[in-house]
Every structure is written in structure tokens, then in C-alpha cells.
Amino acid sequence: PFQFKKFSIAQDRCTHKVGTDGVLLGAWVDICETDMAMLDIGTGSGLIAIMLAQRASPEAHIDAVELEAQDVQQARENVRRSPWPEKVNIHHTPLQQFFPGKQYDLIVSNPPYFVRSLLPPDEKRTQARHAHALSFSELLGNTTRLLAPGGRLGVILPYAESREFTALALGSHLFILRQAVFRARAHKPPERLLIEFSLKKQNPEQREITLYEAGDQWSADYKSLTGDFYLKA
């Protein structure tokens, strides 16, 4: 299992292992004290949902949807072993068929993002990383269906794909509230873009996050961001 400070993530049966993208999103997305209902789309191992549970108010509840049966089973096991099993519920369903009868203050997703690239031979990897099972338009359409009027959507995407996603989001009347460019080193091109959208238009907050500052040493900014989670942060 991948050991964090307050929980661990078993990942031997998961399609995708614990990675920087999920940890970044779970640590970066803004959580307000009034956020009582949250949704993690494509939860995989349950990592981001459990990170939200650690950060959120004791009264908050996190739903998480996942398409792959083995990931659902492992996510449920990870939730049960976490300090917050009562705060997280894993649903085995496509987002398009998820009708919980409520709306969410915060929705997060580390979504499928390879829109036009060749599909890998493994079906589970295909579902997890290619947008044919959940297109950007479907993700955004269902997000607007499930968001409360004052709710937000937080995502992390490769920098190139983020432009297409942002354009589609604006077409769905979702506006950038916050965004952060992530790169490995200061002189390297951007690798990821973290974006938080709102249904209300306002001037967006912008920042940059660099992983390494000297050699292979994590930057002070990255350690500060992930310090509640990584053992060595």
C-alpha cells in the first residue's frame, strides 16, 4: 500500500496507481467550511475522495463514482480502513447514470483525457485514461446537472487538453475561479493545469506550482501544498 500520513491506499487491483495528479488535485482544490456534499468522479482507488474526507468538515459527506468493478472494490476497502469510513460512499456506476437526488457543493475529477490518441489494448486502462467512456462534454454536462448553485468543479488535466476542456466549460456556463500551472522544474514547459470552475463569473486566481527546485529536492511550495499527506513533505 501507498502510505500517507493519516491513511494508506492499497492499489494492487487498481487500474491506475497513486500518482502526482491525484495528490495534487486532492490537496489543491479549495474546500470551504460550508461544503457539506462533495462528489469525486472516477475515483479509482478512492485516493481523492479520502483526501477530501481528511480535509473537510466532520459533518461533510463525499460520494464517489467509479466504472471499473475492481477499482470499486478496492476503493471501498481503502475507505473502510481510513479514519473516515462514515464520510465516504463509493458508487459502482457510470456518471451518466448517477442520480443521487441531491446537488453538490464541490465536484472533483482527475478525468479521462486522451481525446484523440490511439487506444491502448487493455480495456480497463482505456476506460480510465481515454475520453470515449466519459467525454469532456459528458463530464461537463453531468457536472452542471449535479452542481449546487454556488458549487464548484475542480479538475486536473494535461496542459494541452486543458485548453479544449476550458473552452467546453465556458460553453456550459462554467467560469474559471482558480487555476494553477504545474511543471516539474521552473525552466520546463507546463505539464498539468489545475482548474476550479464556478457557475459565477469572476476574476480568476492564478498561481504556479513547481515540483523540484534544486536537483531532486521538492520545492518548498510543493511540500507546503502536500504536507498534510506525504510522509516526506
Q: Which residues of 96-110 are buried (b: 16+ CB within 10 A; e: fewer)?
A: beeeeeeebbbbbbb
Q: What's the pLDDT score for residue 73?
A: 96
In Å, what is the CA distance from 70 to each residue of 66, 77, 131?
10, 11, 20
Q: Give the tens place of pLDDT for each residue, 148-195.
A: 999 999 999 999 999 999 999 999 999 999 999 999 999 999 999 999
Q: Is the pLDDT of residue 9 over 80?
A: yes
Q: Is 23 helix (H, G, I), strand (E, B) or coil?
A: helix
Contact residues for 203 (Cβ-Cβ < 8 A; gap 6+): none
Looking at residues 5-28, what average pLDDT do you find?
93
Q: Is 157 helix (H, G, I), strand (E, B) or coil?
A: strand
Q: What's the pLDDT score for residue 129?
A: 42
Residue scoring higher pLDDT (120 or 84): 84
Q: What's the pLDDT score for residue 181?
A: 98
C-alpha cell at 197: 470552475
Q: Is the pLDDT of residue 204 over 70?
A: yes
Q: What's the pLDDT score for residue 130?
A: 37
Record the pTM.
0.91
Closest CA to 146 of 202, 196, 199: 199
Type of residue at 109: S
**Distance separating alpha carbons of residues 224 and 219, to the nearest angstrom:** 9
Which stretch of 15-19, 69-73, 110-114, 210-214 has the lowest confidence by average pLDDT?
110-114
pLDDT over 70 percentage in the chain:
91
